[in-house]
Structure 1
Amino acid sequence: MRTHSKETQDHLTPDLALEILKEGNQRFVNNLKANRNLLQQVNETSTGQFPFATILSCMDSRTSAELIFDQGLGDIFSIRIAGNILNEDILGSMEFATKVVGTKIIVVLGHTKCGAIVGACNHVEMGNLTGLLAKIAPAIEQEKTTLVDRDGKNSAFVNNVTAINVKLTIDRIRKESQIVADLEAENVIKILGAVYDVETGKVDFFE
């Protein structure tokens, strides 16, 4: 598997970038790996990087984007934070990744059995975590299908909140970053959400 160069990055479209991620996840699910020399990639990326994707995912130890999409060094910008929540610093990182470096796709990746989502559903309050989990509250409020047992023990409720949280995060990216929104409007990039299943290893994209 070749290391991405400026030339290969320039020739990628957002749709092709998505296909690379899908194919990589398929390899992961089937316990396959692309043939790549990581030490060689260290050398090839030592003077510059040309990643094709920016992925906002949770800090959960099971959700390493490089692994679940079978990517190597220099392939993706990986932004990780509990609950894959959004803040000003993350938006700035996305603007740098897309406008400056040239990634073709932004993926907001939630996952099943997310401790941050469960904590928010249980209204956990603890130090600085309180403020982080509060950013998930809008997703809980928008979940209208669950009428009883609206807490972290209800897996269906948690899954619904997880998906809504991803979608609201995408809405906020478009609303709060004119730079990113303009790039999407010009079809320079694609923004979409997905959820990773920690039991199967499969990523389901929202399309």
Structure 2
Amino acid sequence: MNKKKYILLSLLLFGLAVSCKKENRETQSKVSSHVMTKEQQDKLTGEAVLKDFMEGNKRFQDEIVNVRDHTKHIGKLVTGQFPKAMVVSCSDNRVSVDDIFDQGLGDIFEGRVAGNFVDEDVLGSIEFACVVAGARLVVVMGHQHCEAVKAAIDNVRFGNITATLYRLRPAVNISLSFSGMKNSKNNEFIKLVSENNVRIALNDIRTKSPILKEMEDNGKIKIVGTLYNPAHGTLEFVK
């Protein structure tokens, strides 16, 4: 086989492989018309929702997420909401919570703020999600390459962002025993600070909200921490 024919054959095989992969994703993806009802929510447990979310994240990584028509779903949610979970995440536009967990409209009660910290307002939102709206799972989700964490490491100060970043300083301070370079250019240090920030948020939920702590102790809700990697779409648990 001459070189020209070999190149043409290689291109043809590559095209077939790409086409098959795309067809496989489209075949496995499903069009979902489901919207959570009160009856279905009542049967959920925090553990079951967490399993559902991790399976959804695997679909997200494999590019076989469910296809949803939100214009049809929104009408079904006008009279009420029955979320599976409350997710506290960063407001970073690379962190799309519904997509990351492959969940539909109405499935997640979201609290988004730069740096995914927990203050009085966020605590109130979590309590509303769990006590009033019936969410069974609380997820605090930090993420790698977080610009808010980087700014906190650099001790950035201007406008109202000064007060926002002040909320992240405790995570920076407890990470100073790190043996490597402690600056915003070291991804390992950024990751450690992001993980510690999630740990602080988890602790704040449990110590500053007796309501949520009691619900967790009684098995009514499950509270977990995660760290999302935008580069790969993967999640790590943070304890």
Name the TM-score class by shorter chain: over 0.9
Q: Which residue pairs with 2:155 in the alignment? A: 123
1:14 Cα deviation (Å)? 0.5
Q: Which residue pairs with 1:205 in the alignment? A: 237
Q: Which residue pairs with 1:31 in the alignment? A: 63
Give unpaired runs (5+ residues) of structure 1: none
Count of aligned positions: 207
1:64 Cα deviation (Å)? 1.2
- The root-mean-square deviation of aligned C-alpha atoms, in Å, is 1.3
1:72 Cα deviation (Å)? 1.0
- Tell me which of 129, 141, 149 is aligned to 2:181: 149
Q: Which residue pairs with 1:49 in the alignment? A: 81
**SS in structure 2 opposite 1:107?**
strand
Q: Relative CO higher for 1 or 2, CA cutoff 8 Å, sep ≥ 6?
A: 1
Distance 1:168 1:179 in 2: 18
Q: Which protein shows a greater Rg?
A: 2
Segment drifting more, 146-155 vs 123-132? 146-155
Q: TM-score, normalised by structure 2?
A: 0.83
Q: Which residue pairs with 1:110 in the alignment? A: 142
Distance 1:32 1:77 in 2: 23
Q: Which residue pairs with 2:72 in the alignment? A: 40
Distance 2:199 2:179 in 1: 21
Q: Which residue pairs with 2:201 in the alignment? A: 169
- Percent of aligned positions with the same letter in both sequences? 39
Distance 1:19 1:179 in 2: 24
Q: TM-score, normalised by structure 1?
A: 0.96
Distance 2:180 2:136 in 1: 41
Counterpart of 2:150, as a letter, is: V
**SS in structure 1 opposite 2:115?**
helix
Q: Does 1:179 align with 2:211?
A: yes
